[in-house]
Structure 1
Amino acid sequence: MKLNSISSLLFCIFLSTPLIAKSQEKPVPPKISPSIQQICLKISAAAQKHNLPPSYFARLIWKESRFDHLALSPVGAQGIAQFMPATAKLRGLKNPYNYDEAISASASLLSDLKEKFGNLGLASAAYNAGSGRVNGWLSGKRYLPLETEDYVLSITGEIAETFTDKKHAIYLRPLEPTLNFIEACKKLPIIMSRTKPMAKIIRKPWGIQIAGNFKKSSALRTLKRLRARIPSLKKYKAYTQRRKTPMGKKSIYAVRIGANNKKEANSICIKLRRAGGACIVSKN
């Protein structure tokens, strides 16, 4: 009887004790924000450790997040270096919101991408669009998103196609010719600017091509004529995107409309065809 009472008591204690489940903790943003001095010093140290030009690395981090260590993109990229959770895990980055850890992981990743692709231009493209997309672009099977072309141009000062020659090295532009790196870096304030950082850009995975030309100006004129002929086109946001042709390295400027999925893209394309237009649906 006494034994049964003890057993019952132990059973009650077990039921009243909360079970501790092993779960992966989400990254927690630090309570204290780093100063721009701390960020610039870390960028300099990480660049030196991984053999990256500090001005190049600073431009890339600035493009990603405007030095905002709490940045969170619409697709889930986190922190000052905009790591996706899967990439952060792959690179051993425990907390993307920790600016010190994230900048170190970013420099390490860029160094590896440079080793893989041959130059920092292609490394930048791969950092933004992924290695698979860059490999596909280099083989002529895919094209770079307009976002990635802008990304590479703003960071390196050269168009992405320049770097298809893997031996091509970027021109080392200082942030400010009259200042040393740290002082010039500190002039990049931790605020939102008129130009959107990558953390705020929403990528659409599908596209509807409605026109194309080897000259950008001609492609835009075609778009203007199409909008005049098909009024329904005006409600869609169109953009130009440079992409390779199957014949070789020469590129065309494709006029495209973004879509969130294949069904939406096909629906838009059908409507345009019914209105007398022509279009092709493809994944970005």
Structure 2
Amino acid sequence: MLLAAAPALAQQTENAPPAPVAPADNTDTPPVTGNDAAPAAPPAEPPPPPAPPPPARAGGADLRESVCMMIESAARAQNLPLEFFARVIWQESRFQPNIVGPRTRSGERAQGIAQFMPRTAAERGLFDPFDPVQALPKSAEFLRELANQFGNLGLAAAAYNAGPGRLREFLSGHRGLPAETRNYVLAITGISVDEWARSGKREPERVIKPGCGELMALLHRAPNPFVQKLEERVNLVAVAPWGVQLAAGFSREHALSNYATLAKRYGEILTGRDPSLLSSIFRTRGTRPFYQVRVGADTRASAETLCGSIRRAGGACIVLRNRAG
């Protein structure tokens, strides 16, 4: 999915304050670690220290710097704000050139660092979506065209994600936008797609643009606005008797971030379902809490139905009973 250019971005929303978490049902409950990993068993004793990594291949150490330079060059060529274009590519692929997206209803998968669908890649004259040297300039070019067509960066981002046709239907009032697209635009620009639609060609004042290397460091450190919104929505008590576990980890932020990724990927399934954040203590791992993100269900049957939908869409989950009280 692709986007276009224009002025600058709004500043990120403030971090939502951390909140307490409810205890999980069972300290031996097998977690699911998110990112479509298969449900995992409870952590075992710490493994022996890993062997030192092999020496990096020639040129491998500066791959990130090379990608950074290509992003900067492509953005400049299309007069796109660097921070905007970099955030688009970050949302699409986390700067990974060989990534393949989940299968769509048409049976296709987005490909490469800019996540072009095969049909779009062919239309844009992109022969190898997995080659960032080809894909990044084509992505920036497409985003520029979308920005010119729809009037601002936010709507360009929406069109890149949902498709120009779907965005035109949204702007004409004939159809809504997927939750994934709404979250996508907010994560990239810090402004909702509805605000971008109301603003027309007016855009926020430009912020001081960081250099490419600094920007990449910020993207790795800064919280995603969607994760911040998730922090505000998350239920701190498991009120439903059953739960569909989708993400877990010893880091609260990591567990929520994993769930945020899945919530965007499977937005049509998870829309309107607020998660619960639970914690367990595994005696074999000391006193560190193990966080689990679950979507509640009133019955086991409804939980199994939800989990089945996620699995059919390519995800992983596990159905567990939540502890009463």
TM range (shorter): 0.5 to 0.7
In structure 1, which of residues 183, 189, 192 is the aligned counterpart of residue 213 of structure 2?
183
Residue of structure 2 equivalent to 1:39: 67
Asked whether 1:151 is paired with 2:181, we answer no
Cα–Cα, structure 1 residues 43 and 234, in superposed 2: closer, same or farther, change >3 Å? same
Structure having the higher Rg: 1
Residue of structure 1 equivalent to 2:175: 142
Q: Are 1:227 and 1:234, in contact at CA under 8 Å, matched by a contact in 2? A: yes
Cα–Cα, structure 1 residues 236 and 137, in superposed 2: closer, same or farther, change >3 Å? farther
Residue of structure 2 equivalent to 1:85: 118
Where do 5+ consecutive residues of structure 2 fail to align?
1-57, 104-108, 221-252, 275-295, 314-325
Q: Are 2:179 and 2:264, in contact at CA under 8 Å, matched by a contact in 1? A: no
> Structure 2 length as normaliser, TM-score?
0.50
Residue of structure 2 equivalent to 1:9: none
Percent of matched pairs sharing the same residue: 36
Cα–Cα, structure 1 residues 57 and 79, in superposed 2: closer, same or farther, change >3 Å? same
> Structure 1 length as normaliser, TM-score?
0.57
CA RMSD of aligned residues (A): 3.6
Secondary structure, aligned partner of 1:121: helix
Secondary structure, aligned partner of 2:176: coil
**Inter-partner Cα distance in structure 2 for 1:89 and 1:44:** 24
Secondary structure, aligned partner of 1:93: coil
**Inter-partner Cα distance in structure 2 for 1:259 and 1:88:** 28
Q: Deviations over 1:38-80 (max 9, x none)?
A: 1111111111111110001000100000000001112211100
Q: Are 2:110 and 2:116, in contact at CA under 8 Å, matched by a contact in 1? A: yes
Q: Deviations over 1:220-257 (max 9, x none)?
A: xxxxxx965x775444549xxxxxxxxxxxxxxxxxx9
**Inter-partner Cα distance in structure 1 for 2:264 and 2:206:** 27
Give the partner amino acid of 2:215: C
**Inter-partner Cα distance in structure 1 for 2:271 and 2:94:** 32
Q: Which has the higher helix share?
A: 1
Report how many residues are paired: 191
Q: Are 2:82 and 2:212, in contact at CA under 8 Å, matched by a contact in 1? A: no
Give the partner amino acid of 2:135: A
Asked whether 1:59 is paired with 2:87, we answer yes
Q: Deviations over 1:252-282 (max 9, x none)?
A: xxxxx98979xxxxxxxxxxxxxxxxxxxxx
Residue of structure 2 equivalent to 1:252: none
**Inter-partner Cα distance in structure 2 for 1:95 and 1:199:** 27
Cα–Cα, structure 1 residues 201 and 149, in superposed 2: closer, same or farther, change >3 Å? closer
Matches for 1:89-108 after TM superposition, within 5 Å: 89-108=122-141
Q: Are 2:158 and 2:167, in contact at CA under 8 Å, matched by a contact in 1? A: yes
Q: CA deviation at 1:210?
A: 9.3
**Inter-partner Cα distance in structure 2 for 1:258 and 1:132:** 27
Secondary structure, aligned partner of 2:119: helix
In structure 2, which of residues 94, 99, 103 is the aligned counterpart of residue 71 of structure 1?
99
